[in-house]
Amino acid sequence: MIAIILPHGVLFRGGAEERIRTKLLKDGHIDTVIGLPANLFYSTGIPVCILVLKKCKKPDDVLFINAAEHFVKGKRQNQLSEENITKIIAPIRTARKRPATPAAWRWPRSKRTTST
């Protein structure tokens, strides 16, 4: 599984982007599309989306989430609070039967020990 942050326009533009989208959909690789609000990143003010890709899934089972209104307004940059993140991932948890808390989605810490 992989998640990619892209400009929101890749969901609508034609040409090569349309051919790539079509191929990913037909091959059943797109699992979830999450539309995020504008002005979340320092480098750009445009809205973005997260494409979650998976190798083994049904081609007709794509989850779309419009999270454009789930943010905390900032002076220069908008932010996602824990509450916003919980609202955004709630449909994923329900549809995919995932753990109930955002903390459960974080990568586990390595249990490596270093010898001195």
In the chain, % of residues over pLDDT 90: 13
pLDDT at residue 104 greater than cutoff 60: no
Tens digit of each residue's pLDDT (9 = 90 or more) over 23-80: 988 888 998 999 888 878 777 778 889 899 988 777 678 888 888 787 778 777 888 8
- Assessment of whether the complete model's pTM goes beyond 0.75: no
Domain ranges of the chain: 2-103
- The alpha-carbon radius of gyration of the chain (Å, integer) is 17
Contact 59, 80 (CB under 8 A): no
pLDDT the model gives residue 19:
93
Better-scored residue on pLDDT, 102 or 90: 90
Q: Which CATH architecture has domain 2-103?
A: 3-Layer(aba) Sandwich (3.40)
One-letter-per-residue 3-state SS of the chain: CEEEEEEHHHHCCCCHHHHHHHHHHHCCCEEEEEECCCCCECCECCCEEEEEECCCCCCCCCEEEECCCCCECCCCCCECCHHHHHHHHHHHHHHHCCCCCHHHHCCCCCCCCCCC
Look over the chain and give the mean of its residue pLDDT values, rounded to a whole number.
78
Question: What pLDDT does 15 receive?
Answer: 93
